[in-house]
Chain A
Amino acid sequence: MTRRHRRTGFALLAGLAAATLLMAAPQDPNEPQIGLKISGTAVRKIPIAILPFQTSSSDSSAIRGASDLIRTVISGDLEYSGLFNVLPPSLYNAVTIVSGRVPLRDFAALGAQGVVSGSVGRDAAGIVVEGLLSDSKSEALVAGKRYRGDVALARDIAHRISNDITIAYTGRAGVSLSRIVMVGKVAGAKEIHVMDYDGADIKQITKNKSINVSPAWSPDGKRLAFISYRQGTPRLYVYSGDDGSLRDATPPGSDLCVAPDWSPDGRFIAFSSATSGESEIFVLDVSTGRSRQITFSKGADTAPVWAPSGREIAFTSDRSGRPMVYVMDAEGANVRRLASSGDYNDSPAWSPDGDKIAFACQIDGRFDILVYEISTGRTQRLTQNSANNEGPRWSHDGRHIVFSSNRTGSYRIYTMDPDGNRQEMIPTPFEATMPDWSR
């Protein structure tokens, strides 16, 4: 259902997206390809057909509903991944399945490389879902699994099947099982919320009617670090999803904490704190609770983010007079300035491959999201003419960027491809900012 809402969101955005598309598409024409044949660089999408999940005629409407939901969710996941081209069902509505046997050759003729089929049945535990992926040409079963669980888990199961399919083709998990944490404005307070990456299943994590901001997933997806004003001043908290416990992780002497980010090994949290009047960056050892100051410059240093290697940290500093993105070694040495476009750069985010840094940049009084490519030093603008676009964060597979924008008048969470294409809103019933994408 959320999917459907989202679809309408897409439609609303279509104009904007198209505009952005036009602007984002041209890629540096000034880089000549010297004497090399570069062929087939565009990654071909895998054409895939998703058949209705079969139910028996005696099944209740709940089971049939689950079957429809599963197909819809898988279709949405695969389409969203950008790896698959989900063939429109109208193409193969006429294809009949006789006694559970899918006529794979027919699908090969239709151009589908993969065929997803399956069934949903009843069980003491709730439902039994079988998801199968076949290769149409060789008629081989590529992957298959059976899930059993409560009916309420149908959506979960569908995401898992999507994930299985993605792994079967790429070897790596996609985002179908991932979640997005964000700050939602509820009754004047700012509370931490978590939702599925597709906007389903929004859950409120904090309910302290205070201000809770800057949530960041731990790399294992089990903990959240964030800043809360629940005790009056901004302090650093760690929320554990295992037991639902909340811990004040503020190191002694660190007041006014801002913008935490976990190291890739989950052992440290970098954050900034204005202990001595000016904001400096600290690294907290999560297990011992000890922290170490790593920047000592004149001017405010804030918004630290780790490189995926864990060896470097990108951050924002106004040491040169205006806020700009800098990179330093994880120990604080070897500080160098990164991009210099715009007069106000903030909230850097390192791509999972380590080759790019996305950041927000103020251009003509509005924030837009840019991506800096480290190997070439080039900067590409991803958003334009759509009010403010802020707080970029990458999905763990590097195929998407999540951010917040007030292009519709109030702030909402959006995702886009790393080239700025497919900017899509994830509808929330409240104003939402500061997203972070789980593994």
Chain B
Amino acid sequence: MTIKLRIAWGAGSDPTVMRMAAWSAVGHVIVIVVFSLLPRFTTPVAAPHATIAEIVPASALFSAPPGGGKTGASSSAPVEPPEETPSQRAEAAREALKPAPKPPKEAPKEKKPAPSLEPPRTTKKKPALEPEPPRSARDDAEKRPEASPEASDDAPQSPARSGKTPPGGAAGDSGITFGGGPGPGGIPSIGSSAFPYDYYRASLVAILQSNWRRPVAPDGLRETVTCRVQFTILKTGIVQDPRIVQASGNEALDQSALRAVYNSNPLPPLPFQYGQSSVSAEVVFELTPD
């Protein structure tokens, strides 16, 4: 092979042959380049990227700094950039938790333009949704300075502090109440005045309750047993570091309580007016004999 080439080249003292060889080389390079690039043009890259570009803004907009004001801050400017709309956090929480963070609606929607299977059907307008923090959120932030000090004043009397009675009146006979323990590492406790959101506590109790599978004690219970579980709730509603801070001595109860917390993750995002990045919750699970 090599020899033949040499011969050809050797014979190429003839300038036309030399020129032909040069053109051939150039031609081959061009063809190789073209073919190596070609697949990018033949595969319909443009279409999927266009649709993905539609989807990304929908969830990405949730990281845009909105105008939620800080609780108790001076009214005018949104001083607290991390104040996202609550839904932004919800989205973030969902995203952090689910492996496939696509808004479920969008993807199916993209089915509409369907080139290859059938003749293309009418391309529906892309859902160019562009959520922003609502104006009224800002209005609300302006109202808030009045609202929150008041709430803070209330909070010390809030039943949450007593450690036994449920705050927000939602827990009722649930067997789930809040403990009054302070959060670890200076994280505000959910029962403290730093967290004046009764509705959030009520939701938390309702969620834990719906996820708590009470253990069945084969021999029955002789006395009321309680177990205290502590965990941290991040802004996004994600539960972190749940642990038993006071075991009941009834292993089944302890485990069921932990399980209830695991199964409740993610919780609703923390109120967007809340200025801190997390809150610590201590929850008492109580089993009473019949």
Task: List residues of A whose CB falls within 8 A of some B CB.
Answer: 33-40, 43-44, 100, 113, 125, 130-132, 135, 137-150, 152-153, 156-157, 159-160, 164, 167-173, 177-179, 181, 194, 203-208, 219-222, 224, 239-246, 265-266, 396, 438-439
Tell me whether A140 and B115 are in contact in the complex, defined as CB-CB below 8 angstroms, given that A171-B237, A171-B268 are known contacts.
no
Whether A244 and B173, one on each chain, are in contact in the complex, defined by CB atoms closer than 8 angstroms, is: no
Q: Which of B98, B125, B271 contacts A140 (CB 8 A)?
A: B271
Bound: A179/B210 CA distance, A: 26
Whether B197 and A167, one on each chain, are in contact in the complex, defined by CB atoms closer than 8 angstroms, is: no
Say which one of B2-10, B11-19, B126-134, B275-283 lies at the interface with A. B126-134
Tell me whether A145 and B107 are in contact in the complex, defined as CB-CB below 8 angstroms, given that A140-B197, A160-B129, A243-B44 are known contacts.
no
Q: What are the 5 tightest A-B residue pairs by CB atom distance, in nearest-first order? A: A35-B220, A220-B100, A244-B114, A177-B105, A167-B90
Whether A141 and B290, one on each chain, are in contact in the complex, defined by CB atoms closer than 8 angstroms, is: no
Counting chain A CB atoms within 10 Å of each CB, the highest count among B112, B115, B198 belongs to B112
Residues of A within 8 A of B48 (CB): 240, 242-243
**What are the interface flags for B114-126 relative to A under an 8 Å C-beta threshold, 1 for contact and 0 otherwise?**
1111111100110
Known interface pairs A132-B134, A153-B127, A208-B117; 14 further A-B residue pairs with C-beta atoms within 8 A, sorted by A's residue number: A36-B221, A36-B288, A36-B290, A40-B172, A135-B198, A137-B198, A138-B196, A143-B86, A144-B140, A148-B132, A177-B105, A243-B48, A246-B117, A439-B98
Say which one of B178-186, B201-209, B241-249 lies at the interface with A. B201-209
Tell me whether A39 and B51 are in contact in the complex, defined as CB-CB below 8 angstroms, given that A171-B93, A244-B117 are known contacts.
no
Bound: A138/B103 CA distance, A: 31
Tell me whether A40 and B173 are in contact in the complex, defined as CB-CB below 8 angstroms, given that A34-B218, A146-B134, A219-B100 are known contacts.
yes
Distance (Å) between the CB of A422 and the closest chain B CB? 18
Whether A147 and B131, one on each chain, are in contact in the complex, defined by CB atoms closer than 8 angstroms, is: yes
Tell me whether A171 and B267 are in contact in the complex, defined as CB-CB below 8 angstroms, given that A36-B287, A143-B87, A144-B133 are known contacts.
yes
Whether B266 and A171, one on each chain, are in contact in the complex, defined by CB atoms closer than 8 angstroms, is: yes
Tell me whether A177 and B133 are in contact in the complex, defined as CB-CB below 8 angstroms, given that A140-B147, A149-B127, A169-B203 are known contacts.
no
Nearest CB in chain B to that of A266: its residue: B100
Bound: A145/B269 CA distance, A: 14
Chain B contact surface mostly: loop
Whether A244 and B174, one on each chain, are in contact in the complex, defined by CB atoms closer than 8 angstroms, is: no
Bound: A173/B104 CA distance, A: 10
Residues of A within 8 A of B124 (CB): 152
Residues of B within 8 A of A141 (CB): 136-137, 140, 272-273
Whether A156 and B147, one on each chain, are in contact in the complex, defined by CB atoms closer than 8 angstroms, is: no
Bound: A396/B116 CA distance, A: 29
Q: Which of A145, A219, A220, A221 contacts B134 (CB 8 A)?
A: A145
Q: Which of A138, A167, A178, A242 contacts B104 (CB 8 A)?
A: A178
Whether B87 and A222, one on each chain, are in contact in the complex, defined by CB atoms closer than 8 angstroms, is: no
Pairs A–B under 8 Å by Cβ, sample size 5 = A131-B134, A146-B131, A152-B124, A156-B129, A168-B268
Tell me whether A205 and B114 are in contact in the complex, defined as CB-CB below 8 angstroms, given that A170-B207, A219-B99 are known contacts.
yes
Distance (Å) between the CB of B134 and the closest chain A CB? 4
Nearest CB in chain B to that of A172: its residue: B266
Whether A244 and B87, one on each chain, are in contact in the complex, defined by CB atoms closer than 8 angstroms, is: no
Whether A243 and B269, one on each chain, are in contact in the complex, defined by CB atoms closer than 8 angstroms, is: no
Nearest CB in chain B to that of A205: its residue: B111
Task: List residues of B whose CB falls within 8 A of some A CB.
Answer: 44, 47-48, 51-52, 85-87, 90, 93-94, 98-100, 102-105, 107-121, 124-125, 127-137, 139-140, 147, 151, 172-175, 196-199, 203, 206-207, 209-210, 214-221, 237, 264-269, 271-273, 287-290
Whether B290 and A241, one on each chain, are in contact in the complex, defined by CB atoms closer than 8 angstroms, is: no
Tell me whether A152 and B118 are in contact in the complex, defined as CB-CB below 8 angstroms, given that A34-B216, A37-B288, A203-B111 are known contacts.
no
Whether B217 and A36, one on each chain, are in contact in the complex, defined by CB atoms closer than 8 angstroms, is: yes
Whether A37 and B175, one on each chain, are in contact in the complex, defined by CB atoms closer than 8 angstroms, is: yes
Whether A169 and B116, one on each chain, are in contact in the complex, defined by CB atoms closer than 8 angstroms, is: no
Whether A144 and B289, one on each chain, are in contact in the complex, defined by CB atoms closer than 8 angstroms, is: no
Whether A239 and B117, one on each chain, are in contact in the complex, defined by CB atoms closer than 8 angstroms, is: yes
Q: Which of A142, A221, A244 contacts B107 (CB 8 A)?
A: A221
Distance (Å) between the CB of B87 and the closest chain A CB? 4
Residues of B within 8 A of A40 (CB): 172-175, 209
Whether B127 and A156, one on each chain, are in contact in the complex, defined by CB atoms closer than 8 angstroms, is: yes
Q: Which of A149, A179, A224 contacts B130 (CB 8 A)?
A: A149
Whether A35 and B127, one on each chain, are in contact in the complex, defined by CB atoms closer than 8 angstroms, is: no
Q: Which of B105, B120, B215 contacts A179 (CB 8 A)?
A: B105
Residues of B within 8 A of A132 (CB): 134, 136-137
Bound: A110/B112 CA distance, A: 44
Residues of A within 8 A of B104 (CB): 173, 177-179, 221, 396, 438-439
Q: Which of B105, B114, B125, B266 contacts A159 (CB 8 A)?
A: B105
Bound: A326/B265 CA distance, A: 31
Q: Which of B109, B115, B119 contacts A245 (CB 8 A)?
A: B115
Nearest CB in chain A to that of B141: its residue: A141
Bound: A148/B128 CA distance, A: 7
Whether A130 and B105, one on each chain, are in contact in the complex, defined by CB atoms closer than 8 angstroms, is: no
Whether B86 and A144, one on each chain, are in contact in the complex, defined by CB atoms closer than 8 angstroms, is: yes
Nearest CB in chain B to that of A157: its residue: B129
Distance (Å) between the CB of B183 and the closest chain A CB? 20
Residues of B within 8 A of A438 (CB): 104, 107-108
Tell me whether A241 and B108 are in contact in the complex, defined as CB-CB below 8 angstroms, given that A138-B199, A141-B140, A171-B207 are known contacts.
yes
Residues of A within 8 A of B220 (CB): 34-36
Whether A125 and B130, one on each chain, are in contact in the complex, defined by CB atoms closer than 8 angstroms, is: yes
